[in-house]
Chains A and B, each alone.
Chain A
Amino acid sequence: MKKNAKAFLVLAALPFAILAILAAAGARAEVGVVMTGSGANVLLGAAWVACWLASIVVSPIALGAAAVSMVIGSTGSPRSYMPSTRTLGKWARSRSRSPTSDL
Chain B
Amino acid sequence: MNRFLGALLAVVVSAGFVLPTLHVALRPPRAAYVRTEGAAPTMARELAASQIAAWDEGQRDVNRGVNPEWDLGHHFFFAMGLANLAIDAAPAERETYRAKVDAVLVEVLAHPPQHFHLAYFRDGGFSDPQAGSLFLDGEILFMLAARLAVWPDHERDAQLEKLAAGVVRQMSAGPALMGESYPNECWMFDNTLGLAALAITSHVLGRPVPGAAALTERWLAQAPRFVDPHTGLLVASTTYRGATLDGPEGSSAFAAAHFLELVDPALARDQYERAKQQLVVRPFGFAYAHEWPDPGQWGHDALPPRAGKPDVDSGPIIPFVHAGAGASGMAILGASAFGDEALVAELVTSLELTAFPERKGGQLHFAAGNGLGDAVLLYALAQGPLWRTVRAGRRTS
Q: Contacts A49-B368, A53-B353: A34 and B10 contacting too (C-beta < 8 A)?
A: no
The docked-state distance in angstroms from the alpha carbon of A37 to that of B369 is 10
Query: Can you offer 5 A-B residue contacts whose CB atoms are under 8 A?
Result: A57-B19, A60-B14, A60-B18, A61-B19, A69-B7
Min distance, Cβ A78 to any Cβ of chain B, angstroms: 7
- Determine whether A95 belongs to the interface, using a CB cutoff of 8 Å to chain B: no
Q: Is A38 located at the chain interface by the 8 A CB criterion? A: yes
A35→B18 contact, CB < 8 A = no
**Could you tell me if A52 and B356 are in contact, using CB atoms closer than 8 angstroms?**
yes
Query: CA of A37 to CA of B19 in the docked complex: distance in angstroms?
Result: 28
Closest to B372 in A: A35
Are B10 and A4 in contact, CB atoms less than 8 angstroms apart? yes
CB <8 Å contact, B1 and A1? yes
Task: State whether B10 touches A3 (Cβ < 8 A).
Answer: no
Q: Does B320 contact A (CB under 8 A)?
A: no
What size tier do the contact residues of chain A reach? Answer: 20 to 34
Beta-carbon contact of B368 and A38 below 8 Å: no
CB-based contact B7/A34 at 8 Å: no
Q: CA–CA, A62 to B6, complex, Å?
A: 13
Using Cβ atoms and an 8 Å threshold, which residues of chain B touch A53? 353-354
Interface residues of B, count at CB 8 A: 30
The residues in A between 67 and 99 inclusive whose CB is less than 8 angstroms from any CB of B are 67-69, 72, 77-79
B7-19 vs A, Cβ < 8 Å mask (1 yes, 0 no): 1011101110111
**A10 beta carbon closer than 8 Å to chain B:** no
Assess the A36–B370 pair: CB atoms within 8 A.
yes
A47 at the interface (CB under 8 A from B): no
Residues on the B chain within 8 Å of A1, using CB: 1, 3, 6
Q: Nearest chain A CB to B160's CB is how many angstroms away?
A: 34
Q: Is the CB of B370 within 8 A of A61?
A: no
The answer to whether the Cβ of A13 comes within 8 Å of any Cβ in the partner chain is no
* In the assembled complex, A51 has its CB within 8 A of some CB on chain B: no
Q: Which chain A residues border B59 with CB–CB below 8 Å?
A: none
B10 adjacent to A35 (CB under 8 Å): no
Q: Closest 10 interchain pairs by CB? A: A64-B14, A77-B1, A68-B10, A65-B10, A34-B368, A65-B14, A69-B10, A60-B18, A4-B7, A31-B368
Which A residues, 29 to 54, have Cβ-Cβ distances below 8 Å to chain B?
Answer: 31-32, 34-38, 49, 52-53
Check if A56 is an interface residue, CB within 8 A of chain B: yes
Docked-complex contact B14 and A34, CB < 8 angstroms = no
